[in-house]
Structure 1
Amino acid sequence: MKVKLLNIGEAMVLLLTVLSFCSAAKFPPGYNLCKQDDQKCLLEQIGTTFSKHTKGIPEVNLAALDPLKIEKMDIVQGEGPINIELNFRNVDLIGLSESEIKKANGFTANPTKMELSLLVPVASLVGGYKIKGKVLILPIQGDGHSNMTMVNCGIHMKWNGKLVDHANGKKHYQLDKMKATVDTTRFYMHFSNLFNGDKALGDNMNQFLNDNWQDILKELKPAIVKAFAQIFQKVISNVFDKVPYAEFFQ
């Protein structure tokens, strides 16, 4: 049996082909990729990602989505009726698995602007907190466990970006900046261990916060939205950085 020896050029082509195959994104079994112009498929597949891959997809750098673990999140409001510094540490965003995807635009052959809209029936941010400052006319301070819940939480994200050459020789989508809006029909808050554990003061403050949730949310919304935009940008960018753009589609 004769064995044909490859010349240097043929060997390089074969090596690049093998490396390209090995570096291709590996999606889970049953994960259906869409054609770029199939809007219906795209909405369904993004929805499936939220509902069926809650533990994330490590192969493509997608973090666990429900709960979405957030190591650090700060909401600082320094002007107006509310003047607080609210620090969250090791909190979970719960509820994204129930998301209904309302819009997914811009996933074209040469993408620049993209947008994604989803409706979360109940979205809860649960975990450790520390707060100090003033809410409307009342001082507030505490350090403990918190729960901030939004009902019918609509999240709309828009971002700019472009395809760039990657070290692997393929083009990746580079996300530059994200803007977001968040709307809700009801906002609930509960903070444990307010005022160094004074139950009467803590209960009264929690009641006050929930009785005045609309005014409080109006003041805090810009800071909340900014914090969430930074979190979602990191989640999405991690996937785009890992997977060549063309490999998201059939």
Structure 2
Amino acid sequence: MTVKFIVSGVAVLLALTVCDAAKFPASYSLCKQGDDKCLLERIADTFSKHFPGIPEVNLVALDPLKIEKMDIVQGGEGPINIVLNFKNVDLTGLSKSTIKKASGFTADPTKMDLQFLVPVASLVGGYKIKGKVLILPIQGDGKSNMTMENCDIQLKWTGKLVDRSGKKFYQVDKLKVNFDTTRFIMHFSNLFNGDKALGDNMNLFLNENWQDILKELKPAITDAFALIFKNVIANVFNKVPYNKLYQ
């Protein structure tokens, strides 16, 4: 299994200089360190009110989160063997998230944890696919929609404070994602060179067998989510000194 992609506007900016303008705008309220209740509220506000992004601190637009390219290659001897290429897709729904947990944002952080529930998360845009799903061959090139209902996402990452020009920045080292969903809905247009009958039957087959398909694809999707969210988070941490994230 191989996962490769580039997130538009989310590539980590490893600038080694400190920009004095790297601070939150006046409209964004910060918390005192250790105020967990406030922290949950601010993160919730970030998703619901600041989802267009905060350029001052390198926070990209969260809804939609634009992804230029994402390739999922699922190989081996398993029931699913595909090459699935996404291009110019939008991840939508994050602005409706409910924040369930945020921990580890301490004075000397190492491990951090963020958990949130997205009622409807959709990945919409161009695709190209070729391979086998369960017992059936599949191929197509067109528009796609992959939607997860009640998507419970947990991010766990490790890192450390590093010194840059006399200021401390939090450096994200490893990030892992776990997610659960109550429904996984797929639709691929223009399957089998536009053969409507074959395409309709394949889409029906995919959605009737979504649990088995998601079980096989979940590791690849999880890896993709991990890279996406790591870039989003690291962008901010690389821009803003850690002590400037609090009052």
Q: Is TM more than 0.5 here?
A: yes
Using the aligned pairs only, state the percent identity: 77
SS in 2 for 1:123: strand
| C-alpha distance in 1 between matches for 2:128 and 2:101 | 35
2:65 corresponding residue in structure 1 = 68
- Give the conservation status (yes or no) of the 8 Å contact 1:62–1:238: yes
Aligned-residue offset at 1:24: 5.3
SS in 1 for 2:157: strand
Aligned-residue offset at 1:92: 0.2
2:215 corresponding residue in structure 1 = 218
Structure 2: gaps of 5 or more residues: 1-17
TM-score (norm 2): 0.91
1:135 corresponding residue in structure 2 = 133
2:12 corresponding residue in structure 1 = none
Q: How many residue pairs are counted as aligned between the two chains?
A: 229
| C-alpha distance in 1 between matches for 2:73 and 2:152 | 22
| C-alpha distance in 1 between matches for 2:30 and 2:51 | 18
1:47 corresponding residue in structure 2 = 44
Aligned-residue offset at 1:26: 2.8
Matched, 1:239 2:230: no
Q: Give the alignment of 1:1-250 within 5 angstroms.
A: 23=20, 25-79=22-76, 80-167=78-165, 169-250=166-247
| C-alpha distance in 2 between matches for 1:43 and 1:133 | 43
CA distances 1:68-112 after superposition (whole Å, capped 9, x unpaired): 001111222113100111111110000000000111111000000
Structure 1: gaps of 5 or more residues: 1-19
SS in 1 for 2:128: strand
| C-alpha distance in 1 between matches for 2:230 and 2:213 | 25
Q: Which runs of at least 4 in structure 1 moved beyond 2 Å after TM superposition?
A: none
| CA RMSD between the two structures | 1.1
| C-alpha distance in 2 between matches for 1:118 and 1:73 | 23
SS in 2 for 1:66: coil
| C-alpha distance in 2 between matches for 1:199 and 1:24 | 54
TM-score (norm 1): 0.90
SS in 1 for 2:130: strand
Aligned-residue offset at 1:30: 2.5
| C-alpha distance in 2 between matches for 1:28 and 1:187 | 38
Greater relative CO (CA pairs within 8 A, separation 6+): 2
| C-alpha distance in 1 between matches for 2:238 and 2:23 | 14
CA distances 1:27-60 after superposition (whole Å, capped 9, x unpaired): 2233110011100000000000011111100000
| C-alpha distance in 2 between matches for 1:180 and 1:201 | 35
| C-alpha distance in 2 between matches for 1:114 and 1:26 | 21
SS in 1 for 2:227: helix
CA distances 1:210-240 after superposition (whole Å, capped 9, x unpaired): 0000000000000000011001100100110
Letter in 2 for 1:204: N
Largest Rg, 1 or 2: 1
| C-alpha distance in 1 between matches for 2:61 and 2:73 | 27
More helix by share: 1
SS in 2 for 1:241: helix
- Give the conservation status (yes or no) of the 8 Å contact 2:23–2:240: no
- Give the conservation status (yes or no) of the 8 Å contact 1:145–1:193: yes
| C-alpha distance in 1 between matches for 2:112 and 2:64 | 25
